[in-house]
A and B are shown apart, each in its own frame.
Chain A
Amino acid sequence: MAVRRRGGVQSYPDVPVDLWVTCRKCGGMHYRPEFEAALRVCPSCNYHDRLDAAERIALLLDDPGEFREIDADVTAADPLGFRRPSGSYVDRVAKARALTSRNEAIVCGIGPLHGRPVALGVMEFGFIAGSMGSATGEKITRLFEHALRHGLPVITVTASGGARQDEGLFALMQMARTTAAAARLGEAGLPHICVMADPTLAGVTASFAAVADIIVGEPGATIRFAGSRVVQGTLRRRAPVEDHTAEWVLRQGMLDLVVPRRELRETLGRVIGHLAPAEAAAPARVTAKAARV
């Protein structure tokens, strides 16, 4: 899988650059080549470290070279002329674009999984904490609509701090918009599988992700409705200390399964094989159908 150096695990300051990494969860130090070879899974605590969208796509598809990205040109506008103490929203977006080489906090496209074309949407946490603004919502909605038109199953991989506050109510409405698109896909009998990666929070947990037919948690991923700062702001006390890991959420009955990264592609392929319409099993026929639409 493609390995890149941005975001993710912090490098240890006193050792030769990038040779050692420190686990975000347990603080354990690992030799980077071994850590990367283990798909960035911590050998001490099993925390599945954050992957960027390119790494995730490489991990999930049969051949990442066949991934055909759609709507890469969709990017954020600034409907409120929003400004934080730290700077304007326009600047934040510009920085996020420079940092991630992406126009938005999700990468969408079509690619093969177990020989079958799937519509894949992978959130880019490095882009403003994977927050969902209008352009993010637009891309997610288009992904579901594309899948509906072409009879494709959908896989989404979420990693997000929630709704993007800088867009005010526009951001909140992305929850309704993406969920409506997901619901319409379901009516057509096309499956939606969501992989909740670390972290999946608030406005993303509580929208298209939670209405997926199958919800997979990544081991150790934080999955919750209210971020700790929101809890503090609303209840004026500190958030509970429980860690809200995927394993905890699974025990509450909210996830279908928690799957180790090494088995993820195999599991998703198998699940889609059971749920996707039979005609989609033969890629050639799907292509023919897509051409008609």
Chain B
Amino acid sequence: MLEFERDLDELREHIAELERDAGADPNSQVARELAVLQLELETRTADIFAHLTPWQRVQLARHAQRPHTQDYLDRLCSDFTELHGDRRFADDPSVIAGLATFEGRSVIVVGHQKGRSTAENVERNFGMAHPEGFRKALRLFDMAERFGRPVLTFLDTPGASPTLDDEKRGQSWAIAENMARLARLRVPVIVTVIGEGGSGGALALGVGDRVLMLEHAIYSVASPEAAAAIIWRSSDHAEEAAAALGLTAPDLLRAGLIDRVVPEPEGGAHRDFDSAAANLRAELARMLEELCAQNVDDLINARYAKFRAMGEHQQAPAV
């Protein structure tokens, strides 16, 4: 549990106790007290969530109970069939991918997958994909184009796995090749940052016609720890880095780097997976409908123009 959630949770427990004690009489002392406490809980939750600091959002985005890709697939798609392996080296459990039906349409889904238990997190490498994970994704992007199926991707990673073995198998190459493929893929692609959008490891699944972010997701050039290691030479400055990097969904919407912020239920997506998924479903359904109606050449030209416009520079006389 996060620090700023603790007070709220104590209040919630208190309310639950009173609810057990309260009789059927709506005018009893207990019932009146309950109503007051419930109002207080709502007000305080709304107040805290209206003024979240960037670091609090980082914590929410990484919340151990936060819904991950599989949780969304379970709620968005009726028949997810997971497909494994890159047909080159191995199957990477930190990326899940497959075929599914979304709103009556066959789609290809690909996402980073974090674990919830320690054992599962070790198995899934904390959502840090290896080159073979990105190459599994690439295999499915190719398949999507071959069969004319739209692609939905879900981003939730601290970053690509940075070990020596990953270097040996060409981590940089895997990421770059995915971006190049997605940039020119001749089917609609919708990207959703559901939790942590960390660096190149996120972007390897992150080039599409629309980029959505869950309200408390983050998307950053490097994880706050890595950025702090680069800028402050110590990952202990992660909180400062989070504030400086402009990595929250509202920041990035203002910056024009994402298209839409998907609202989360009160208290965050981890409080209510179903509502979080329902909100996302509504946005994805609308956008997919719109994109599938477009001519493919127009689609990839617009996708090129979209990323072409991402950046701020100025003119200066040549030095």
Which A residues form the contact surface with B (CB < 8 A)? 69, 72-77, 79-80, 82-85, 97, 100-103, 134-135, 137-138, 141, 163, 165, 167-177, 179-184, 186-187, 202-203, 205-211, 224-227, 229-236, 240, 242, 244, 252-254
Contact = CB atoms under 8 A, between A and B. Distances in A.
A172 B221 contact: yes
Interface in B245-262: 245-247, 252, 255, 257
Interface string B76-119: 00000000000000000000000000000000000000000000
Q: How large is the interface on B (under 10, 10 to 19, 20 to 34, 35 or more residues)?
A: 35 or more
Nearest to A69: B318
A227 B179 contact: no
Contact of A253 (B170, B206, B228, B303): B170
B234 to A, nearest CB: 8
B318 A163 contact: no
B315 interface: yes
Contact of B319 (A77, A103, A163, A226): A103
20 contacts: A73-B316, A73-B318, A75-B313, A85-B232, A103-B316, A103-B318, A165-B227, A169-B255, A173-B307, A180-B184, A180-B303, A183-B183, A207-B179, A210-B173, A226-B171, A229-B226, A230-B162, A234-B162, A252-B168, A252-B169
Interface of B: 128, 158-160, 162-164, 166-173, 175-177, 179-181, 183-184, 199-200, 203, 206-207, 219-223, 225-233, 235, 244-247, 252, 255, 257, 303-304, 307-308, 310-319
Task: Please give me the 7 A-B residue pairs with the lowest Cβ-Cβ distance, nearest first.
Answer: A233-B229, A134-B311, A226-B162, A210-B176, A180-B183, A135-B313, A206-B172
A165 B173 contact: no
Nearest to B184: A183
B220 to A, nearest CB: 6
B312 A134 contact: yes
A225 B184 contact: no
Given A77-B314, A170-B257, A179 B184 contact: no
A234 B172 contact: no
B221 A225 contact: no
A79 B230 CA distance: 19
A75 B247 contact: no
Given A73-B315, A165-B221, 4 more contacts: A165-B231, A176-B183, A226-B167, A229-B226
Contacts of A84: 231-232
A172 B246 CA distance: 12
Q: Which of B159, B184, B244 is the most central at the interface, judged by chain A CB atoms within 10 Å of its CB?
A: B244
Given A80-B246, A225-B160, A254 B226 contact: no
A165 B220 CA distance: 9
B313 A76 contact: yes
B203 A225 contact: no
A97 B319 CA distance: 7
A184 B170 CA distance: 22
Contact of B235 (A135, A186, A224, A236): A236
B176 A232 contact: no
Nearest to A242: B164
B169 A229 contact: no
B221 A207 contact: no
Nearest to B220: A169
Contacts of B176: 175, 179, 205-211
Contact of A79 (B175, B220, B255): B255
A108 to B, nearest CB: 12
Contacts of A174: 310-311
Given A165-B231, A172-B221, A210-B173, A184 B319 contact: no
A45 to B, nearest CB: 22
Contacts of B232: 84-85
A80 B170 contact: no
Contacts of B318: 69, 72-73, 103
Contacts of B173: 206, 210, 254
A244 B172 CA distance: 13
B311 A173 contact: yes
A232 B310 contact: no
Nearest to A145: B308
